[in-house]
Amino acid sequence: MAHNLIIRGFDDKVHLQLGELANQRGVSINSIVKDAVDKWLKHQQSEVPRKHYLVIYSDDESMIGLLKSMDRLAKESDLFRCFCSSPESQSSELLSKLKWYDATIKPYYYAPADTIAAVNYQDKNDHSPNQQQQKQQTQLSQKNIMKYFGNIIENMAKKANNKQVCCLDLLINDIAKASLKQVLSIEEAYNTNRIAGSTYCMYNTATLLNSEIKDMLELFELHDQIFLLNGDEVYKLHVTKENVHKLFLN
């Protein structure tokens, strides 16, 4: 159904220029204005923030304090608050009490006590007959967790109903305990199809310290910004690649 739109504030000069341009192009002023509005709406839709942040925390106590602060700020910003996490975690219990939407699909893919077993790695001393089996199991696990994680994101987006989200991903830390390489694939896949709003990937310091430097650097590069949580203090981390000679400069 068409509606009339009254636009105020055009002076005679602008109206005259619009009329001349409309005559030159053989269209009406109404068509020019409608086209401008359509382009503006498309631009605004494409400008919806889709942020992807990395948060590294030191312990559960500091995490709980951060979640309480984020809850207050997310409410003030009228964001759709959602999360995915181990059902038994303190964070999950707190967020549920605060009425955040739990998008975690049950049964939970990673049981806390069986995180390493979830990927089902073989002993490194296994001989060649089992190496092929290990490769197949790893590929199957990768496929399963990608599907599981994808279903969670789809669940969040559907429940948000076009509203910008404040998404807390604590599941990602459990995946990293088993394999940071799996995490890198998931983070990279998420970057190709982000949901509107801000997504925060929460990693425990102990989890990342067991990883190789090159994997950690890749993890940093897959996020827009990196934050370190120490107690109730938040630090922003900047990582830049430098030449060796910088080690000798004042």
Q: How far apart are CA 214 and CA 152, in angstroms?
A: 28
* 163 and 59 within one domain: yes
Examine residue 22 and state whether it is found in any structural domain, yes or no: yes
Backbone torsions φ then ψ of 241, nearest 5 degrees: -85, 130
* 227 and 105 within one domain: yes
**For position 136, what pLDDT does the model report?**
46
HSE (CB half, 13 Å, CA atoms) of 7? 11
161 sits in the region (left: phi over 0; alpha: psi -120 to 50; else beta) called left
Examine residue 101 and state whether it is found in any structural domain, yes or no: yes
| Regions in the chain scoring below 50 on pLDDT | 112-129, 133-134, 136-137, 140
**For position 160, what pLDDT does the model report?**
95
Domain count, the chain: 2
* 206 and 192 within one domain: yes
Examine residue 61 and state whether it is found in any structural domain, yes or no: yes
User: Across the beta sheet with 197-204, what order do the strands follow?
Assistant: 101-102, 80-84, 165-169, 197-204, 50-57, 225-230, 233-237
Q: How far apart are CA 174 and CA 165, in angstroms?
A: 22
- Under 8 Å CB-to-CB from 218, ≥6 apart: which residues? 184
**For position 23, what pLDDT does the model report?**
84
Q: Let me know: does 60 contact 91? Beta carbons within 8 Å.
A: yes
Q: How far apart are CA 181 and CA 175, in angstroms?
A: 9
* 71 and 22 within one domain: no
Q: Let me know: does 58 contact 82? Beta carbons within 8 Å.
A: no
**For position 122, what pLDDT does the model report?**
36
Q: How far apart are CA 223 and CA 23, in angstroms?
A: 50
Backbone torsions φ then ψ of 235, nearest 5 degrees: -120, 140
Angle at alpha carbon of residue 79, lines to 77 and 83, rounded to 5°: 130
Expressed as residue numbers, the domain containing 36 is 12-45
Give per-residue pLDDT as tens, 82-135. Answer: 999 998 899 999 999 999 999 999 888 775 444 444 444 334 444 444 555 445
Examine residue 242 and state whether it is found in any structural domain, yes or no: no
* 123 and 74 within one domain: yes
